[in-house]
């Protein structure tokens, strides 16, 4: 039996389209005061939960998002953790998958829901998707059974579906269905009823206390391979000072050019202690490093297989592990293992 025992939900507004109202005189978008949220969306009063709100002092566009802001969000959740049953984070959609993935790694032993959501149209627009996304996100964060939350992980809700956050990618800049999780099923489907796919939910160890990690290393690079990419450009990136890790977006199941000079660049970097992660640039599917001739050499060199991880999760997981000062020897084993359900 699923219930929503007047759960206490904290709504965290970071910025983004969902919190914007159109100025009737100028037509420009501006953030409204989230303390007056109930006035803008009176339907929230009908929900069987109590809602408190907190907003960034200066709400930001999601294109300005960075690890310092991730720490701010994690900090709020840590401070308000014991007095709330769940959290809903309002965020611009452009970088939401990055932020939500990062929070999944930063919040170790999380046993309450943290639901990210946003919208494609402002909350004041007649055709907005903001109200449905917000109301359902709060409902999902309020789901309880035996006085305990049903969802116990960082998620992302958009257009009738709740996804595991670190499995999502933004796939469309115009459609309301802006996100997809191509390598993992949705956790909840919103229809006449909320259908919870319990078999896919993360099951954390409830005996462990929340541990919040706030050091993220940004000395990394992302390289998307393409036919004819200049090895000089690749070499320049790999020779960047203080570089500690590179996400390599490869072809298909993890394949790269097999030229000796290209492989030598990778070999030299690995010998200097640079971690190299092999992630497919395909929207869905997995790296199968060593299956084809063109990726066998990568396996021999010690390139780390990202398996079916998304680029967003790979970037944030690498920042998290490097920030935790994981040794080069251990990094391959840990990265290729699932920490928060990000890898199958």
Question: Taking the C-alpha atoms of 102, 103, 105 and 110 in order, what is their torsion angle to the nearest 10 degrees?
Answer: -170
State the Cα–Cα distance between residues 55 and 71, nearest whole angstrom.
14
The CA distances from residue 225 to 222, 262, 267, 317, in Å, are 10, 12, 17, 21
Q: How would you label 7-20 residue by residue, b for 16+ Cβ within 10 Å and e otherwise?
A: bbbbbbbbbbbbbb
Strand (E) or helix (H) holding 50: strand 49-55
State the catalytic residue, choosing from 14, 17, 136, 280.
17
| Pairing, β 144-145 against β 148-149 | antiparallel
**∠ CA(330), CA(181), CA(87), 5° rounding?**
80
The CA distances from residue 85 to 2, 129, 140, 229, 306, in Å, are 15, 25, 11, 49, 33
215 given a catalytic annotation = no
10 Å Cβ neighbour count for 221?
Answer: 16
- Catalytic residue annotation: 17
């Amino acid at each position: 039996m699923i219930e929503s025992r007047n759960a206490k939900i904290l709504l965290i507004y970071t910025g983004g389209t969902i919190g914007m109202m159109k100025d009737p005189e100028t037509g420009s978008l501006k953030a409204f005061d989230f303390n007056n949220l109930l006035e803008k969306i009176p339907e929230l009063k009908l929900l069987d939960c109590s809602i408190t709100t907190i907003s960034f002092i200066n709400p930001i566009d999601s294109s300005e998002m960075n690890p310092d802001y991730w720490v701010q969000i994690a900090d709020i959740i840590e401070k308000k953790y014991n007095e709330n049953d769940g959290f809903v984070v309002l965020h611009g959609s452009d970088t939401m998958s990055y932020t939500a993935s990062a929070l999944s790694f930063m919040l170790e032993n999380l046993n309450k829901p943290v639901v990210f959501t946003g919208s494609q149209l402002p909350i004041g627009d007649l055709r907005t998707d903001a109200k449905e996304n917000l109301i359902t996100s709060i409902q999902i964060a309020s789901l309880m059974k035996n006085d305990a939350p049903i969802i116990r992980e960082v998620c992302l809700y958009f257009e009738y579906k709740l996804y595991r956050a670190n499995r999502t990618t933004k796939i469309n800049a115009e459609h309301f269905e802006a996100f997809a999780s191509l390598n993992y099923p949705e956790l909840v489907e919103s229809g006449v009823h909320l259908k919870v796919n319990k078999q896919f939910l993360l099951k954390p160890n409830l005996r462990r206390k929340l541990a919040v990690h706030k050091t993220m290393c940004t000395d990394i690079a992302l390289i998307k391979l393409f036919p004819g990419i200049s090895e000089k450009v690749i070499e320049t990136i790999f020779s960047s000072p203080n570089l500690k890790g590179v996400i390599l977006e490869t072809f298909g199941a993890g394949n790269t050019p097999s030229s000796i000079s290209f492989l030598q660049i990778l070999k030299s970097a690995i010998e200097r202690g640079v971690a190299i992660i092999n992630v497919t640039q395909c929207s869905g599917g997995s790296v199968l490093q060593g299956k084809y001739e063109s990726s066998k050499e990568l396996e021999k060199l010690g390139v780390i297989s990202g398996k079916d991880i998304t680029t967003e999760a790979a970037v944030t997981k690498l920042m998290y592990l490097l920030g935790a000062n994981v040794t080069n020897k251990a990094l391959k084993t840990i990265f290729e293992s699932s920490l928060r359900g990000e890898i199958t």
